[in-house]
Amino acid sequence: MKKLLFIPIIGLVMMFSGCPAEEVEKPEKVEKHKKGKVAVLVGEGFHDGEAYMPIGYLTNMKFHTLVIGPERGIVEAYNSDFTIKIHKGVDEVSVDYFDALILPGGEAPSKLRENEKVVDFVREFYKTGKTVAAICHGPQVLITAGVMEGKTATGFEGIKDELEEAGVEYKDEAVVIDGNIITSRTPPDLYDFSRAIAKSIKPEDWKKEKVDKKEKKKK
């Protein structure tokens, strides 16, 4: 049922974002007007919707997204026939280049957390104070990176005990923000998750949007 639900949704994302299933916007196509640069960290067994839907949302919002992973190549989703192309390995990119890092869920996080260079990259990124967003099983990588103790967060219910053992105060909410960490539970939270990421990178744009809406109402 889950596969049937998300295949048409992801198809719409691909149509509106202009990104085919195996190809996400290439770094050489970054335009000057982009609002920010976002790394999406995936591996074999990623969740299709949790990777592609934030990419589609942020691309439409004029952010540049780059898919990174343990190494370059094409990896498969665990829950559908979708694939995604990893354009850069984590050892080929710098945390300074990006404004945010996204950790989709699925089966990939359990494998990514075993990769030392991936964990080091995530830990270094967190230390910059820039946005780190994880959904579903994504927080598992943050646990291994040792950055979750004392945090308030959420995630897939199945990792609740693991989060609490790592010193997390677990909340069953669509989006939980603690410092520079954004967490969400499952695919139904993806819109709120994606929106929270965008707002965290360019909060001034959202403040301006509120002002503009108020002015329109006055008129």
Q: What is the DSSP letter of 106?
A: B
pLDDT at 1 over 60: no
Total domain count for the chain? 1
Question: What's the average model confidence in pLDDT over 172-189?
Answer: 98
pLDDT at 76 over 90: yes
Of the candidates 50, 49, 60, 70, the residue with the CA atom closest to the CA atom of residue 25: 60
* Amino acid at residue number 197: I
Question: What's the average model confidence in pLDDT over 176-183?
Answer: 98
Q: Which pLDDT belongs to residue 120?
A: 98
* Amino acid at residue number 53: M
Mean pLDDT of the residues in the chain:
86
pTM comes to 0.83
- More confident of the two residues 34 and 66: 66
Q: Which domain holds residue 136?
A: 2-218
CA distance 92 to 161: 34
Q: Which of 47, 64, 87, 137 is catalytic?
A: 137
State the CATH number of the domain containing residue 169: 3.40.50.880
pLDDT at 92 over 70: yes
- What are the strands of the beta sheet with 37-41, ordered from one edge? 88-89, 64-69, 37-41, 100-103, 131-135, 181-184, 175-178
Tokens of 63: 């952010």
Instruction: Please confirm, yes or no, whether 137 is among the known catalytic residues.
Output: yes
Would you call 23 exposed, middle or buried from its count of C-beta atoms within 10 A (0-12, 13-18, 19+)?
Answer: middle
Question: What's the average model confidence in pLDDT over 88-116?
Answer: 97
pLDDT tens sequence across 120-132: 999 999 999 999 9
pLDDT tens sequence across 130-179: 999 999 999 999 999 999 999 999 999 999 999 999 999 999 999 999 99
Q: Which pLDDT belongs to residue 218?
A: 55
The three-state secondary structure class of 79 is coil
pLDDT tens sequence across 14-49: 433 334 444 444 444 545 546 899 999 999 999 999
Alpha-helical regions (H) of the chain: 2-17, 48-60, 108-112, 116-127, 139-144, 160-165, 190-201, 203-218
Q: Which pLDDT belongs to residue 179?
A: 97
Of the candidates 149, 166, 158, 135, the residue with the CA atom closest to the CA atom of residue 41: 135
